[in-house]
Amino acid sequence: MTFDPVEICAVLYEERVDFVVLGGFAAIIHGSPLPTEDIDVIPSREADNLERLAVALKRLGARIRTAGGSVETRLDAAFIRNMPHMLNLTTRFGDMDLVFTPAGSLKVYEQWLERSRPAQLREGLIVAVASLDDIIASKVAANRPKDHRSLPYLESLREQLE
């Protein structure tokens, strides 16, 4: 399967889903040299948005991603609403994680959006991308080994951008 995070963003955008791109792919948009195999997004949890998100997930052929493979599930708005923290998915354009409670002080979509920056990924496709400061703060808070590996790159990137 070819990983195409831009196409994932395009489907979300076309279905008018309100979301912010976070994590490693957001860091790439800022200039990170670290490849990533999935895209993390935080969606608005407004009822209408979850309905639009469910339509987008259907278009993407999204399935629940597990350690043993993927599982077909009815990913409707009610199901998504009941997810407390995260939903790991695989789609026909690669893996996508829906993050509902990111690590760090920013907990909800509206907070991430307020500090995000718009980025054009291709002609006519502009998405909200988490600020590099917020990406770094979230990785510091998550405190996982993989975050420890990426933080030097992101902190050096931040210095280069200053």
Partner 1 sequence: MASMEQSPLEDSRGVDISQIRRLLQMSVQERVDYMVEVTNKLLEIRDTARFVETFPRR
**Does residue 148 interact with partner 1 by CB under 8 A?**
no
Q: Count interface residues toward partner 1 (CB under 8 A).
A: 25
Of the pair 111, 131, the CB lying nearest partner 1 is at 131
In the complex, the smallest distance separating the C-beta of residue 38 from partner 1, rounded to whole angstroms, is: 10
Regarding 82 and contact with partner 1 (CB under 8 A), the answer is no
Residues 101-120 that bind partner 1 (CB under 8 A): 119-120
DSSP notation for the chain:
----HHHHHHHHHHTT--EEEEHHHHHHHHT-----SEEEEEE---HHHHHHHHHHHHHTT-EEEETTEEE-----HHHHHT-SSEEEEEETTEEEEEESS-SSS--SHHHHHHT-EEEEEETTEEEEE--HHHHHHHHHHH--HHHHHHHHHHHHHHHHH-
Taking CB under 8 A as the binding criterion, the range among 69-77, 96-104, 108-116, 154-162 that sits at the site for partner 1 is 154-162
- What is the closest distance, in whole angstroms, from the C-beta atom of residue 88 to partner 1 in the complex? 17
Q: Which stretch binds partner 1 (CB under 8 A): 24-32, 40-48, 54-62, 108-116?
A: 24-32
The residue among 58 and 92 lying less far from partner 1, judged by its C-beta, is 92
